[in-house]
A and B are shown apart, each in its own frame.
Chain A
Amino acid sequence: MSERPRPIEVTDPVTITVDGRPIEVQRGELLIDACERNDAYIPRFCYHPRMEPVGMCRMCLVEVDTGRGPALQPSCMIPTAPDMVVETASERVTKAQDGVLEFLLANHPLDCPVCDKGGECPLQDQTMAYGPGESRWVEEKRHYEKPIEISPLVLLDRERCILCDRCTRFASEVTDDPLIHFINRGSNTEVNTFPGDPFSSYFSGNTVQICPVGALTATPYRFRARPWDLERTESTCTTCSVGCRVTLESSRDRMLRINGVDSDPVNWSWLCDAGRFSFEATNSEDRLTEPLRRNPDGSFSGIRWSEALTVVADALRGSDPQRVAVLGGSRLTDESAYAWAALAKGVVGTDHVDAQLGDGLPAAVFDLPGATIDDVCRPGGTVLYLGPDPKEELPVLFLRLKHAAQRDGVRILEVTPTATSLTPYAVAGVRPRPGELAAVASVLAGGDVPAEGVAGVPAAELEGVLDALGAADGPVSVVIGRPNLAESAQVVLDAAASLSALPGVRFLPVVRRGNARGAVTAGLAPGRLPGGARLGSDDHWSSTWSTVPTAAGHDALGILAAAAAGEISTLVLLGADPLSDVGDRALVDRALERVDTIVALDAFPTASVRRADLVLPVAVAGEVDGTTTNLEGRVSRVRAKVTPPGTARADWVVAVELARRLGAEWTARTVEALRDELVAGAPQLAGTSWAQVDAADDGVVVDLTGRGFDPGPTAPVPQIDSYSLRLVLSRELYDGGELLARSESLAGLSRTPTVGISVGDAERLGVSDGTALIVRGERGSLTLPARVSSGIPRGTAHLVHRLEGSDPISLLSADEVACDVRVELA
């Protein structure tokens, strides 16, 4: 199997004897891992290094002698102890393992030729390696109806199942979604769901990956290829910013499958289903395949790249640099982001550059002392969680935090506007009113607790979190992000400013978009140079580039405001769709209206792309080489596995070509060169050269030392309107985003939009689940069914961004710290 033992640091070595050979192992580590690490692989089916051992399949039986004579023991359940003597290939062991294999094969169908797993099947492989030549089983085999759909993404052929408990254990132990279970008893045992209650877990695809036979198959892959036809390369998932390590698997230049790779500091081999299956969008018919130019009548015509580039170069050359802006870039590789930063800032000379769309975190958060996921999850630690629902936005980070809380004694203190998927694992939590997070943060950082409470949080609840924080005897880390898109990012910065006073505190900034941190670090942020240095504080780029901006430019909302005011002539959208994502629809609309030339680099015809004057088709994940930076600041390789459709190309190629056309003396012509050019000018990125990152399977973490965090001007505290509910706008994993909408298997999975309200407000309004409500803001209104939840505090209305049939950003205004809405019966 592709799993490997968890990396282990031998701090307490003991010597055991394996097959006559003394080996040094960590005291107490599982024998099966100790042997594998020392080249004595023991066959197994049920054991998985990332789950609790269960000793069920009995394939890993070995003879263990601890002084009382040799006995057959499952090596997955036996901790190593001094002087243990182990035989992994004795006659008795071989007989027992042969017996187990024969038992497993007794009822296993011989449909390997039509089974997806054939060719990469542990049962098949171990039968070849260890099994008897032929079966003595002459009885009728078990039969089941096949296959059954246990979720929209996963199919189950029960007769192939060897009841190893991997999928069911994963569901209950790793994700707490025990929707699949052993049913019935003895030789009639099967895995199944409860009727009408499918295995709709965000992590269901992992069960397919860990199934040691072909019992579980994924609908996007079933019958699409044979393992020996697949070509594989290792890469990093950029669907969100966790940066899970993956294998990209293709056949005949078509992406067919993505599997998780066990990266110890990151994803432990797990993936969410969005990351696993959204590659389908790569193969979408909607892909942009050639440059397009808008005709006067509004239609688009294909043009040649050279022509298109000339048009763009002319638009850039012809504008005052202050009238050029670049929006987006969070989906780009580090190198593409750097190329665009260098083009905008070092060639064109504009600082109106922002990789994010007002829904992420300003570059300043990366100046805070940083924490890795491992730092946050370190056993015994304490975590202040101020982020979005991690299961919805950063699913594998949720798995890590949940594991830390459940198994490693990490205490999570949740400070979020509504309950999240982490709430059941948190030891304490408070729900500050949106817009007033900073007040709570300042109390947590050592302020007094006013008797009347703070930000709508009763004093007693605050005391509870303070007590838990005071009891922390390990490191405190803060996970900080945007739980509410209807709340200004400044509120988060203000909270961070207070919390940075906690002794030894470190921050893990979480943003959803895949390479937001990398793009910002590469320079796609106003006021910043590649590597994160502030404008004017650095000599390298000013001596390298022909021009360097002198004053900080606008951020995304500022760029759009300037554009709306007629101050921007040329706007470049780097995979950005502000019409769909920026929390001020009217503003974006006016901005796009007034800009002279909109250039969109994108893979899909998004709402904003349709407003562009020139559209340049670009490559997506799986089609480009480079590096990406996850939320921790971990730089790891992404690799190209398939060629982009048509003439689509990597974003950096476009930047480099434009720079050449603009007469820049810029010689980098490869991603390797771009990477090294970026690293050479960025001390923070020391150690992340192309060669270094390329050689590091788990990537390389940038320097996380704090660098003079400046939150900027504090956000005003919004007035309370007692007739209104304050809006919380969050994201869900399956939303109407471009990738998901174009992934056939995932597109139908998003939830029906609702407006969430507290039990108290529901009583006040006299409504229950499903009652139609009107959510009315100053900018517009929505009619949605009510969802009454105990996880929502009184005075709060909860909406979800970008679900079909709901457009909550139409309610938002860019210049407000928080958004109040009236909720009434429709």
Chain B
Amino acid sequence: MARFSPDNEALARRIVDRYPVAKSATIPLCHLAQEQDGYLAPDAMEHVAELVGCTPAEVLGTASFYEMFKLHPVGRYCLNICTNISCRLLGASELLARAEERLGVRAGGTTADGTITLEDVECIAACTEAPALQVNYRYVERVDAAALDALIDDLRSGTGRAEEFPPHGTLGLVRQELGPDDLANVTPPGEQVEPVWFARNAAPTDEGAS
């Protein structure tokens, strides 16, 4: 499956409707497609293009700009080891080298069993908890060699910590609930309407600027 399932298409349409301009939904919809398929398939990009009203080339242009979108299948787990400055100062390079050795793949590669894709990534905003890594974008912090080994074992066997990580492509497990009736739609795009509360500026409160 690569186009959206009926349920996901319905969700995709709800997402599109929240934006003043449909194309803004491109990235959220690509994430949804990736959540569905584990990667961003060509058919999915065509479906996204239809839903946001642009060409597939434009969706590809956007998607290929962002490293989270995988245009080819990847492992169930993306093991992203940060090797930027704060992590590197505390041994990230060695951690990466160890992971490469343990997994038998270079950074960017996927294990032969299709379980783990190893990536050498830039700063993941866990600098004070260095060295840090992410599995499917869930943090594992202050990682040492033993912890890395244990994590890899878990991921390979699908047990232990592996259960904390939903399959690649799944991001937030809680979605924002925002139906069309929930939108205040204060100023529709293309209309020059001053928000009602701005009329208050004409009559300042007694307090004035504090």
Contact = CB atoms under 8 A, between A and B. Distances in A.
A contacting B, Cβ–Cβ less than 8 Å: yes
B65 A181 contact: no
Interface string B8-25: 000000000000000000
Interface stretch (B51-59, B85-93, B139-147): B51-59
A197 B55 CA distance: 9
A178 B64 contact: no
B208 interface: no
Interface in A165-195: 172, 178-185, 192-195
Contacts of B67: 185
B65 A194 contact: no
B58 A178 contact: yes
Interface string A252-280: 00000000000000000000000000000
Contact of B56 (A184, A185, A194): A194
Contacts of A181: 55, 57-58, 60-61
A182 B63 CA distance: 11
Given A194-B45, A195-B42, A183 B64 contact: yes
Contacts of B66: 185
Contacts of B46: 194
B192 to A, nearest CB: 16
Contact of A178 (B42, B45, B57, B65): B57
A195 B67 CA distance: 19
B contact face: mostly helix, strand, loop, or mixed: helix
B57 A185 contact: no
A184 B54 CA distance: 18
B65 A184 contact: yes
Contacts of A193: 57
Contacts of B58: 172, 178, 181
Contact of A197 (B54, B56, B61, B65): B56
A191 to B, nearest CB: 10
A178 B54 contact: yes
A502 B66 CA distance: 55
B57 A194 contact: yes
Contacts of B55: 178-179, 181, 194, 197
Contacts of B60: 181, 183, 192, 194
A754 to B, nearest CB: 21
Contacts of A184: 64-65
Contacts of A179: 55, 57
Interface string B21-53: 000000000000000000000100110000000
A377 B61 CA distance: 33
A178 B46 CA distance: 14
Contacts of A182: 61, 65
A461 to B, nearest CB: 21
A183 B61 contact: yes
A194 B58 CA distance: 8
A196 B46 CA distance: 11
Contacts of A197: 55-57
Interface in B189-207: none
Contacts of A194: 42, 45-46, 55-57, 59-60
Interface residues of A, number: 15
Contacts of B64: 183-185
A325 B54 CA distance: 53
B53 to A, nearest CB: 11
A179 B59 CA distance: 10
Contacts of A196: 42
A431 to B, nearest CB: 23
A195 B72 CA distance: 14
Q: Name which of B58, B64, B66 has the most chain A CB atoms within 10 A of its CB.
A: B64
B57 to A, nearest CB: 4
A38 B90 CA distance: 60
Interface string A191-209: 0111111000000000000
Nearest to A179: B57
Contacts of A185: 64-67
Contacts of B42: 194-196
A197 B56 CA distance: 8
Nearest to A182: B61
Contacts of B45: 194
Q: Name which of B42, B54, B57, B58 has the most chain A CB atoms within 10 A of its CB.
A: B57
Nearest to A176: B55
Contact of A180 (B54, B57, B59): B57
Interface string A691-727: 0000000000000000000000000000000000000
A356 B170 CA distance: 65
A193 B59 CA distance: 11
Interface string A359-383: 0000000000000000000000000
A227 to B, nearest CB: 31
A824 B84 CA distance: 68
Contacts of B65: 182, 184-185
Interface string B145-177: 000000000000000000000000000000000
A769 to B, nearest CB: 15
Q: Name which of A172, A183, A193, A196 has the most chain B CB atoms within 10 A of its CB.
A: A183
A597 to B, nearest CB: 55
Contacts of B56: 194, 197
A783 to B, nearest CB: 31
Nearest to B66: A185
A193 B58 CA distance: 9
A183 B59 CA distance: 10
A632 B48 CA distance: 43
Contacts of B61: 181-183
Contacts of B57: 178-181, 192-194, 197
Nearest to B60: A194
Nearest to A196: B42
A183 B71 CA distance: 12
A182 B58 CA distance: 8
Interface in A140-185: 172, 178-185
A192 B60 CA distance: 10
B46 to A, nearest CB: 8
Nearest to B56: A194
Interface string A228-240: 0000000000000
A165 to B, nearest CB: 12
A183 B57 CA distance: 8
Contacts of B59: 194
B193 to A, nearest CB: 20
A178 B62 CA distance: 13
A795 to B, nearest CB: 28
A180 B60 CA distance: 10
Contacts of A178: 54-55, 57-58
A184 B67 CA distance: 9
Q: Name which of A181, A193, A195, A196 has the most chain B CB atoms within 10 A of its CB.
A: A181
Q: Name which of B56, B59, B66, B67 has the most chain A CB atoms within 10 A of its CB.
A: B56
Contacts of A183: 60-61, 64
A172 to B, nearest CB: 8
Q: Which 7 A-B pairs have the closest CB atoms?
A: A181-B61, A194-B56, A194-B57, A181-B57, A183-B64, A184-B64, A185-B65
20 contacts: A178-B55, A178-B57, A179-B57, A181-B57, A181-B58, A181-B60, A183-B60, A183-B61, A183-B64, A184-B64, A184-B65, A185-B65, A192-B60, A194-B42, A194-B45, A194-B46, A194-B55, A194-B57, A194-B59, A197-B56
Given A183-B60, A194-B46, A194-B60, 20 more contacts: A172-B58, A178-B55, A178-B57, A179-B55, A181-B55, A181-B58, A181-B61, A183-B61, A183-B64, A184-B64, A184-B65, A192-B57, A194-B42, A194-B45, A194-B55, A194-B57, A195-B42, A197-B55, A197-B56, A197-B57
Interface of B: 42, 45-46, 54-61, 64-67
